Amino acid sequence: MAETGDLLHVVTNDDISPGRRAFGKAIVWASLALLAGTAVVQTLDQSGTLSLGLPNWRPTLYAYILFSVCLCWSQVLVRGEQGKRVLFVLPAALFVISLVVFPLIFGLIIAFSNWNLSSPDGRQFNGLDNVRQMWADPFYWNALGNMIRYLLAIIVEYAIAFGLALLLNAQIRARKFFRVAFLLPLMLSPVAVSWMVGKSMLEIRFGPISRLARFLGWDNPTFFSSPEMARLTIMVLDAWTYIPFMMIMILAGLQAIPKDVQEAARVDGASPWRGFWEVTFPLMLPVSITAILIRIIFKLKLADIIINLTSGGPGGATDSVTSFIYREYRDRSNVGYGTLLAMVYLVLIIVFMTVLMKIADRWMRPKY
């Protein structure tokens, strides 16, 4: 959808003096040299060759910030009007690169080392040991399996969200009240939800949901003792928080469908049921796929509720990958192994999402 080619054409006479250009180049190289110099000095200091006794790497960080500022400034100095345009994207790009690409590269190094933060030995490169350990770790595979189950729950969430969006799109009174009420779960922090609902309302003796369950004839309601039940509870809680998200997107899609399409179907004698399946639903397909894809992305990060409610139990039955790695770090402070697991997860996600987006792209293309 992004067009190429400038939409705005500006004719300026950039007469940039050689001095200004030279100054612009000079500050970039000078600040880069300063950055490199600081980094080298700090590395030497760390390895013990120099003894400056710097407590941390802050000086290098400041040098890096200075370099970034100089880089942005020099764009305008050297390239004039063109530089001012680059200035729109450059800060965000530098920000993301420094906060994602560097840590990722750094993470790759950590992933292949044995590094226990609580042990005094520090980082030791251990090759593929972590991979071998991962291969034999049943809990990690179990967590990956759980993620698939959690992802499958999205289908049900989608159906409910679609139903709610249809209800909100119908001719009803007090639409604003219902919209706000339906939206509220999304605003609540998952941690608070896991206490409010998970710990308090599902309390076996006097939680209102347990009492309702007993009233409905379930003698001994327990929500976290059997693996299936615990997993289901987590799914329901997570669904409760995120259904509004899909609902709003689908509602926006429904409101964008012109009314006359439905009317035409009705005039042609379609029952509401067929009108929905053969007119509304196909028209909603692109929006649905976007909503589901975003929901999948959010679901892959699922952790807060699990960490707070079950901490993976019983026996790892509710673990998501994120919560498993979190505990791996909290309990054993094993940074190296945890990072490797996270990296493998990232690769799996990228492959999975790429395939999914390719399939979705094919589906979304209009057939007629």
Partner 1 sequence: MTEQVFHDAPHDRPDRLGWYASRVAIYGMLLLWAAICLFPIYWTITTSFKAAPDVMKGALVPWADYAPKWLGWKSLGLSPDTIGSESTVRQEFMLRFMNSTVISLTSSAAAVVLGSLAAYGLSRFSYKFLWMRNPDISFFFLSQLILPPVVLALPFLVLYKELALLDTRIGLILLYTLSVLPIVIWIMRDQFSGIPHELEEAALVDGLSIWGAFLTIVMPIALPGMVAAFILSLVLTWNEYFFAALLTSTHANTLPVMVASQTGSQGISWWSMAALSFAAILPLIVVGVLLERYIIKGMAAGAVK
Identify residues 6-25 at the interface with partner 1 (CB under 8 A): 6-10
How far apart, in whole angstroms, are the C-alpha atoms of residue 313 and residue 116? Answer: 24
Q: Is the CB of residue 252 less than 8 Å from the CB of residue 170? A: no
- Residue 344: closest CA among 318, 365, 325, 366: 325
Contact 275, 265 (CB under 8 A): yes
Residue whose CB is less far from partner 1, 22 or 42 = 42
249 near partner 1 (CB under 8 A): yes
Q: Which stretch binds partner 1 (CB under 8 A): 24-32, 138-146, 248-256, 261-269?
A: 248-256
Which one of residues 23, 73, 139, 240 is an interface residue with partner 1 (CB under 8 A)? 240
Does 248 engage in binding with partner 1 (CB under 8 A)? yes
Decide: is 358 part of the binding site for partner 1 (CB under 8 A). Answer: no
Q: Which stretch binds partner 1 (CB under 8 A): 31-39, 53-61, 138-146, 224-232?
A: 53-61
Region from 27-35, 196-204, 226-234, 259-267 binding partner 1, contact rule CB under 8 A? 196-204
Residue 277 backbone phi and psi in degrees, to 5 = -70, -30
| Angstrom distance (rounded) from CA 130 to CA 136 | 10
Secondary structure (H, E, C), 84-138: HHHHHHHHHHHHHHHHHHHHHHHHHHHHCEECECCCCCCCEECCCHHHHHHHCCH
Of residues 27 and 302, the one with the C-beta less far from partner 1: 302
**Nearest Cα to Cα of residue 306 among 202, 210, 231:** 231
CA 49 to chain centre: 42
Residue from 234, 251, 279, 292 binding partner 1 (CB under 8 A): 251
For the segment 156-195, give every residue that binds partner 1 (CB under 8 A): 163-164, 167-168, 170, 172, 176-195
- For partner 1, the binding residues in 274-333 under the rule CB under 8 A are 286-287, 290-291, 294, 297, 300-301, 303-304, 307-308, 321-322, 325-326, 329
Count of residues that interact with partner 1, criterion CB under 8 A = 108
- Tokens 């500006």 belong to 10
Query: Does the footprint of partner 1 cover residue 143 (CB under 8 A)?
Result: no
Q: How far is the CB of 231 from partner 1 (least distance, A)?
A: 20
